Chains A and B, each alone.
Chain A
Amino acid sequence: EVHLVESGGGLVQPGRSLRLSCVASGFSLGNYAMHWVRQPPGEGLQWVSGITWNSGRIDYADSVRGRFTISRDNAKNSLYLQMTSLRPEDTALYYCAKDDSGSYWGIDHWGQGTLVTVSS
């Protein structure tokens, strides 16, 4: 069974940094593209970033490009999101999500999310 567990969320001041992690189990992370998707409180889903199986292609939403960095360690079955220059509008529940293929085909499994709150 596919299992995705996010961690690293918390309360952080504007302008500071935070690193999210996602540990995968039940499948070989190295065979699949992965994504980060966020959901601000009371709002809809927003795709944040995606990375192909071998990190050969990486994409970001306009709202985070230049501030967030996605990465993966297939040997550790882990996905990461380094977030810098955080803004209050980055406050959201951040989901780790598995793609159905090694490149981008579509999300087929979700984690439970980790909450990031950006506030002074």
Chain B
Amino acid sequence: QSVLTQPPSASGTPGQRVTISCSGGSSNIGGNTVSWHQQLPGSAPKLLIYSNYQRPSGVPDRFSGSKSGTSASLAISGLQSEDEAEYYCVSWDDNVNAYVFGTGTTVTVL
């Protein structure tokens, strides 16, 4: 199954802005919406962003999403220690009729 490509890691100091990219193709990101999920160590994933840029209630506005063409991005502004987690993008793929997840990005707060 195809996957979406994310950088393996990203880091920043408290208060900084960190951006995570998610690269796909025309059959997934290019034609469908993107969601982002946060997985804290030892926990189940949690929805962070849906429909490319929408935030569920309760998610701080420090988290923002965007999409352009066949790529998407998650930005975390005002980085906090509790943001240390694994982040995954996901989109439906019309070629394989399956959801495809990104490879995951580990965010570290220095």
| Residue ranges of A at the interface with B (Cβ–Cβ < 8 Å) | 35, 37, 44-47, 50, 59-63, 95, 100, 104-113
Contacts and interface: CB of A to CB of B under 8 A. Distances in A.
Interface residues of B, number: 25
Given A95-B45, A110-B45, A46 B101 contact: yes
Contacts of B86: 44
A59 B97 contact: yes
A110 B46 contact: yes
Nearest to A104: B92
Contacts of B101: 37, 44-47
Interface in B12-65: 33, 35, 37, 39, 44-47, 50-51, 56
A106 B99 CA distance: 9
Given A44-B104, A104-B92, A63 B1 contact: yes
A118 to B, nearest CB: 19
A42 to B, nearest CB: 11
Contacts of A61: 1, 98
A45 B105 CA distance: 12
12 contacts: A35-B99, A45-B45, A45-B104, A46-B1, A47-B98, A59-B97, A59-B98, A61-B1, A62-B98, A107-B47, A110-B46, A112-B44
Given A95-B45, A108-B50, A108-B56, A47 B100 contact: yes
Nearest to B100: A47
Contact of B90 (A95, A100, A107): A107
Interface of B: 1, 33, 35, 37, 39, 44-47, 50-51, 56, 86, 88, 90, 92, 96-104
B34 to A, nearest CB: 9
A30 B47 CA distance: 21
Given A50-B99, A61-B98, A107 B37 contact: yes
Nearest to A49: B98
Count chain B CB atoms within 10 A of each CB in A45, A108, A110, A112 and give the residue with the most. Answer: A45
Closest 9 CB pairs of A and B: A47-B99, A44-B104, A45-B101, A110-B44, A106-B35, A108-B47, A59-B97, A110-B45, A106-B50
